[in-house]
Amino acid sequence: MQVAFRTAAALPAAGSCSSRRFTSCVAFLRPQQQRRGQGSASTAAAAAASSLPHPRRASTLHCRAAAEASDVIDVEGKVVEDRVPVTVITGFLGSGKTTLLNNILQRDHGYRIAVIENEFGEIDIDSDLVSVEEELDPSKEQILMLNNGCLCCTVRDDLVEMLNRLYDRRSKFDRILIETTGLAQPAPIIQTFFLDPKVADRMRLDGVVTMVDAKHVVRHLDEQKPEGVVNEAVEQIAYADRIVLNKTDLVKPDELGALEERIRAINSIAQVTRAQRAEVPLDYVFGVGGFDLEKVEEEVLAAEAAVHSHHHEHDHDHECSGAGCTHESHSHSHSHDHGHDHEHGHSHSHASSSGSDHECSGADCTHHSHEHEHSHGTAAGSGSALKAYQQKHDDAVSSVSISIEGDMDLDKVNYWLGGLMEVKSNDLYRMKGVLAIQDFPARFVFQGVHMLFEGMPDREWKEGEKRISKMVFIGKDLDADLIREGFQECVVKK
């Protein structure tokens, strides 16, 4: 049996990066680091910083120090996670959240699961649909209802209270599942697990699983909302760690690729799987570790691979025969098929419903002038290994993935990333990255949600391994060029 004791992780001294977990080496923006960096900071970072209201970034960034105090360290010095894993199931109305929940609860997995259902209105319908007993029974799942509004806004305090009440009966369950309403915005729910100190200390957000209705998702994604009003369907995809493209029986098989592509363009980090009746393996939903720093690298790599294959696919399915058509100059090459939803009278703003259908035959064909805004940033940077991609559909929410070879200047990264977060925090939904910092033998991994940021040194760079920094951002109205430029400026000049 392992002996465990609690410890508070010490923050490193200024400039040192020796502790296992630390919050000050990269992008934690101690004011003195900002000032040091300011003189030599990048144009992009300087531009970003010039619009800062005041230089108090350090206080707006979330440090994991508080949560670190709850880390349980075993005798060998390893951190043992003792917080309760929580899975959030979200997805638009009717996408299959309750079906997934039922699937999970009916399986013989051995977990004791506490379920929090969130239902609009006073009449609780969903709990009737969930086939478990409500009575507290240690061997059964329990269902707790939050009926007086949407989890994402009006009842977040209720959620905190309910989570804390649940924790008092910690010995009776192993995991918590939260099913949101179909109109929930995931951000406030996610933030609850980081912002409320008690909850952060007791619970660990394992992952956000988003159900997507293959039949109707395009209609929801394309829905034009008034200025300032969130498109919940887009946001639910953007914040996801795992996406279930459900109800595949209701669309033609050849439409699924385009749907996945549309999803990946919004969120290149999340895994996407197809399903009918929400039938997915349990480990697709549990043990996701979507907010674990230890998993950042694989997710960043997967996001990069997704972007590559997306890029590659479209290089193939686009044919131009016109003299004036040069693929290199195209800002789009997507092949969306939005046609499947037309039975609902849906129309969208794309000039062409399908990039793949499009043939260039005229001398004056310039794809990049098409009304729809599909763009890939291409490899850029003179001689550097910098690559940045942005897939921009009409959805303002997209993923930007950057990878760059060469050591980064810590002060500059701090300054740039802090500036970016300060200026774009509302629009920066999620980000993950692995950085090569000058003179640091270990890689630095980080992840963030809006202004919440955590990072730590990871394994050491191996002998002969290329020191490549990679980052993925998911957000709204992201300027890929500006992000790329700012990041490029952080590379140590030789």
Residues in contact with ligand GTP by CB under 6 A are 91, 93-99, 126, 182, 211, 246-247, 249-250, 276-278
Cβ neighbours, 10 Å, residue 451: 18
* Least Å from the CB of residue 216 to ligand GTP: 10
**By C-beta, is 19 or 103 nearer to ligand GTP?**
103
> Mind giving me the DSSP string for 51-118?
T-SSS-HHHHSPPTHHHHTT-EEETTS-EE--SEEEEEEEESTTSSHHHHHHHHHHS-----EEEEEE
* Least Å from the CB of residue 277 to ligand GTP: 4
Cβ neighbours, 10 Å, residue 436: 22
Are the C-beta atoms of residues 285 and 100 closer than 8 Å to each other? yes
**By C-beta, is 280 or 417 nearer to ligand GTP?**
280
* Least Å from the CB of residue 471 to ligand GTP: 33
CA distance 231 to 120: 18
* Least Å from the CB of residue 238 to ligand GTP: 18
**By C-beta, is 214 or 436 nearer to ligand GTP?**
214
**By C-beta, is 232 or 304 nearer to ligand GTP?**
232
**By C-beta, is 103 or 164 nearer to ligand GTP?**
103
Residue type present at position 343: E
Bridge partner list, 400: 390, 473
* Least Å from the CB of residue 146 to ligand GTP: 13
* Least Å from the CB of residue 243 to ligand GTP: 14
* Least Å from the CB of residue 245 to ligand GTP: 10
Look up residue 181 and give its DSSP letter: P
CA distance 300 to 102: 31
Nearest to 337 by CA among 255, 393, 400: 255
* Least Å from the CB of residue 173 to ligand GTP: 22
**By C-beta, is 129 or 351 nearer to ligand GTP?**
129
**By C-beta, is 211 or 288 nearer to ligand GTP?**
211
- CA distance from start to end of the chain: 52
**By C-beta, is 93 or 468 nearer to ligand GTP?**
93
**By C-beta, is 96 or 377 nearer to ligand GTP?**
96
Across the chain, how many H-helices and E-strands are there? 16, 18
Nearest to 490 by CA among 408, 395, 371, 373: 408
Token pair of 6 as six digits: 């609690």
* Least Å from the CB of residue 278 to ligand GTP: 5
Cβ neighbours, 10 Å, residue 31: 12
Burial of 284 (0-12, 13-18, 19+ CB in 10 A): middle
Using the Cα atoms of residue 396, residue 397, residue 398 and residue 404 in order, give the sign of their dihedral.
positive
Nearest to 349 by CA among 216, 237, 232, 223: 223
* Least Å from the CB of residue 181 to ligand GTP: 6
**By C-beta, is 128 or 294 nearer to ligand GTP?**
128
Strands (E), 251-395: 271-274, 319-320, 359-360, 387-390
Residue type present at position 54: H
Cβ neighbours, 10 Å, residue 318: 21
Are the C-beta atoms of residues 337 and 354 closer than 8 Å to each other? yes
**By C-beta, is 100 or 400 nearer to ligand GTP?**
100
* Least Å from the CB of residue 90 to ligand GTP: 9
